[in-house]
Structure 1
Amino acid sequence: MLVLVSAPWAGPARPAPTVLRELARRWGSAIQVLLVEDPTDELLEHYCVDVLPTWLQFVLGAGEADTGHTQERLILQELHGTDLAGEDVSVAGPWKLVHRRTGAQPKHVIDAEFGPAH
């Protein structure tokens, strides 16, 4: 699952949702994506996000001993956001963070780091 945390009021984050949509169309069903736009301070803290945009890759299933909540070892019981059609989505976990990239990134960087060939 690739989660993009972005906000229209954060200048560098403005193009990120478009990049996500373009890549999601290219990837098809190989990668699930969620968009979190205009997050609350509580959500930013919960996802350990300090910079917008932030790209987060999660895998389903974290071991019992693998519980924790730091930027390096983030385990979430549920992911919330919107799908590419703008519909609210909640996906039960547990979800374990395996990769994080912050800041505005070119499409080819996101594709290389988070895409199905990764």
Structure 2
Amino acid sequence: MKKFVLAALLLLIGWCLWRWFAPHGQIVEIVQRSRVIARLDLSRETGSRTIDIRSPGGGYNRLLVERGRVRVLSANCPGQDCVRMGWLRSASLPLICLPHGLTVRYAPRSEGDLDSLSQ
């Protein structure tokens, strides 16, 4: 009985962790200074490409989109935290570059978004 309870508990913890870290969809928004500047459908990104984003004041971020994933490849911000964050993995942990006001996140789910994407 104890083994069954332990196994069930481990499965529950695993499921909770998977739900926490699993992407909430395949649509990614690139947001700069609270404005959505691009939307990417990662399910259609099978190759590899870079996207350069310029920010006011001469800043830049270079995103790498590769095989359905996205990350900040390089930037000219002082801390390089956005580069060290790695691949976007979770809706609860977006890629953020504070000096350039850049956020790369999974698009929030709403009925309107799902309807417009499915058409």
Q: TM-score range by the shorter chain?
A: under 0.3
TM-score of the superposition, structure 1-length normalised? Answer: 0.27
Structure with more relative contact order (C-alpha pairs < 8 Å, separation 6 or more): 1
**Structure 2 length as normaliser, TM-score?**
0.26
